[in-house]
Amino acid sequence: MTDAIVLVNKRADGLAEVTLNRPEIHNALNEHVNRRLVEIFLDLKHDPGVRFVSLTGAGVSFCAGADLDWMRRTSSYSQDENMADAIVLANMLRGIYELPKPTIALVNGPAYGGGLGMTAVCDVAIGVKTASFTLSEVKLGLVPATISPYVVQAIGPRQARRYFLTAERFDARKAMELGLLHEVVEDQAALLAARDKVLSALRLGGPGAQAASKDLIFAVQERSIDEAVRRDTARRIAEARATSEGKEGIAAFLGKRKAAWVP
């Protein structure tokens, strides 16, 4: 069943655990996985019981990129067929990136090509020290196209010029240095502990404010601080102050008590 290629565990504490479940081929992507992820993240977006999402891979790998059978089939596709196929991948990445809820990538092993892209689209990325990364597309005569906006945003255009062109493999420490990972930990147990620490911090924030903060980042990144940006950001804080969540947060702070959303 296609449902089994990606597992979803919605916990009572508001965390949805999403696991790529093709360990026998290192959780490689294909059109079925991509479509399933589109469905899953659309469901998580609209599920009021879900506040946070973690993404990882079953077995020893996070995601090895495109699987060989999928690559073989796409090489015989027409231009229109390839375009339709690539749009699904692009939509999958966008669905994770724009999810109005905090996302955490738990990189438990190699993350190549599309797997590296899936690391970049998450809000927080934590990896084990044995994780490795590569953008190997040029070795196949291809380009890291649909993942490029997110990877360039994560590591910057200067570093992208090296790693897009050389397809060099780099380790977790280098990934953190480049800005792809926020944290590197010892092993799987430490990975889960690091996730729980991040979740503890996230639970203190208002869910509406977190969604609005993500949208704020999208609105201001790489823009000049002109009159339009100044007015837009002023509008956003004015609107936030007027929300019930904003009023509750300020009242809780002044009253020296927990806000209503804090467990």
Provide the annotated active-site residues. 137
Asked if residues 122 and 104 have their Cβ atoms less than 8 Å apart, the reply is yes
Structure tokens given for 222: 């790489």
- Can you state the percent helix, strand and coil of the chain, rounding each to 5? 55, 15, 30
Structure tokens given for 77: 């596709």
Asked if residues 124 and 165 have their Cβ atoms less than 8 Å apart, the reply is no
Residue type at 147? I
**Overall residue count recorded for the chain in this entry:** 263
DSSP H or E segment with residue 10: strand 6-10
Query: In which region does residue 82 sit, left (phi positive, over 0), alpha (psi from -120 to 50) or beta (all else)?
Result: alpha
Side-chain half-sphere exposure of 190, counting CA atoms within 13 A: 10
